[in-house]
Structure 1
Amino acid sequence: MDNLLVGKTAIVTGAARGIGAAIAGCFAQEGANVVLNSRSDSTALKETIAAIEANGGKAVASVGDVGDARYVPSLVATALERFGTLDILVNNAGVIKDRPLAFLKESEWDEVMNVNLKGAYLCSKAAIRPMLQKRAGRIINIASITALSGRPGQTNYGAAKAGLIGFTKSLAREAASHNVLVNAAVVGLIDTRMTRQIPRDTLEQICGMVPLGRIGTPRDVANVCLFLASELSSYVTGTTINVSGGGYI
């Protein structure tokens, strides 16, 4: 451990498992206090927090929907009340509702937009206020290469993630004068519960199109987020870092 985040407090949304859990664990390893958000008080959330604590980290859960404006203020309040500060926000929470546009239900469009894009807006708006006051902070948005290259059946998801990239760039300009840095990690094919459901032959075909020739791990994403959350990235804002093994060049 290099203690890159000692004394910092981070909120990670969608942190029960997968990429979010890896980010939370990585930050805790580097000394951060971590607030893990999840839509439900699941076994996975409890196991992730237990694993962080077993390794000497400090973590607390906050259960709720990031797309709900009534919930989000309590998420930020949890960080401030438990740890006294809020330094880092990772907008990772997301859902997919894949369907060709001709058959895409309005409710499926709305849910994806509500969690993936509105959730980032609500959380960032609540989190940025204490950051602006102390003139320091990091906001990291987890986007997707679907926003850059498109993918059949993901018009809602692609639109939400593309919107998140635009949101990142504009907020970075707004917040730069107060030393609040805003960046995005644009994620490709990562080994998560969702990708494990892809048939093996299809997954091998997809990996064959990735220049590095393998599927990424949640830790690959967490490492990039650690860079963006730490002082190593003190002159980096408004950018998108592609974490796709070269899948989008």
Structure 2
Amino acid sequence: MELKDAVAVVTGANRGLGRHLAEQLVREGAKVYAAARRPQSVDVAGAIPVRLDVTDEESIQAAAAVAPDATLLINNAGISTGTPLIVSELDAVRLEMETNFFGPLAVTRAFAPVIEGNGGGAVVNVLSVLSWWHPAGVGAYAAAKAAAWAQTNAVREELAPRGITVSALHVGFMDTDMAADISAEKADPADVAAQVLHGIANGLPEVLADETTRTIKQSLATALSPA
């Protein structure tokens, strides 16, 4: 996909990875709709702020109407609440699923006919190394990202006949607000964004953005150890 000819919608574009994606797409010559729950918080020069809350169907449909020329959707918006699965309130678990699984699905469903009508294009889902590695302390987030990985693979097959490629970013900790309280090695979100754009340009089904993610992916066939 030629990025300079793309018309991109980036959710969660007001900060972190989303902001870097929007900025780099603008530099590549793409038209960019920078979507956020509070569009006034978007400060990406050259981008068009758009209100979009991935948990609000009305705002999703309104955003699709605002961006009728879209050819690229990057589902970046998400949350991480540090919610275990057993001892936490179910509402907290549901919030993770609503935002990290149902949200991207709803946005993709709204934009798929738009992208198809514009001759095809691409969808990218921002996932995580926790799609495959499931620590108990963030069980809700890991479960949502695992489900989103399955979603990505199924939607890829479903949208291929409509001229839409679907890919996923998997990455560990990034140096963003979401991981501010975590003491661990963190990837540079600008570098991760560049890898995503390279993946889009080359039609890659997956971008594994760091060594931890590549190692975890390779270990999926390893037998489980007793707890």
TM-score band by shorter chain is: 0.7 to 0.9
Match of 1:76 among 51, 64, 71: 64
Distance in 2, matches of 1:216 and 1:131, equals 31
Structure 2: which 5+ runs fail to align? 216-227
Alignment of 1:45-194 (within 5 A): 45-46=41-42, 48-49=43-44, 52=45, 58-80=46-68, 85-194=69-178
TM-score for both structures, normalised by structure 1: 0.80
User: Secondary structure at the residue paired with 2:54?
Assistant: coil
Cα RMSD of the aligned pairs, angstroms, is 1.8
CA contact under 8 A between 2:170 and 2:213: conserved in structure 1? no
Match of 1:13 among 11, 14, 22: 11
Structure 1: which 5+ runs fail to align? 53-57, 208-214
Task: Compute the displacement of 1:188 (Å).
Answer: 0.8
User: Secondary structure at the residue paired with 2:170?
Assistant: strand
CA contact under 8 A between 1:88 and 1:229: conserved in structure 2? no
Distance in 1, matches of 2:38 and 2:198, equals 29
Name the structure 2 match of 1:212.
none
Name the structure 1 match of 2:192.
221
Task: Compute the displacement of 1:147 (Å).
Answer: 1.5
CA contact under 8 A between 1:165 and 1:240: conserved in structure 2? no
CA contact under 8 A between 2:120 and 2:163: conserved in structure 1? yes
TM-score for both structures, normalised by structure 2: 0.88
Task: Compute the displacement of 1:105 (Å).
Answer: 1.1
CA contact under 8 A between 2:10 and 2:22: conserved in structure 1? yes
Q: What letter corresponds to residue 47 of structure 2 in structure 1?
A: A
Distance in 1, matches of 2:142 and 2:64, equals 28
- Deviation by residue 1:2-23 (Cα, 9 ceiling, x = unmatched): xx52232100001110000001
Distance in 2, matches of 1:195 and 1:121, equals 24
CA contact under 8 A between 1:117 and 1:161: conserved in structure 2? yes
Task: Compute the displacement of 1:154 (Å).
Answer: 1.3
Q: What letter corresponds to residue 64 of structure 1 in structure 2?
A: L
Match of 2:34 among 36, 45, 54: 36
CA contact under 8 A between 2:196 and 2:207: conserved in structure 1? no
- Deviation by residue 1:196-243 (Cα, 9 ceiling, x = unmatched): 223xxxx2xx33xxxxxxx2111122112212332x32xx4xx33211
**Number of residue pairs matched by the alignment:** 215
Name the structure 1 match of 2:20.
22
Name the structure 1 match of 2:223.
none
Q: 1:24 to 1:103 in 2, by over 3 A?
A: same
Q: What letter corresponds to residue 194 of structure 2 in structure 1?
A: N
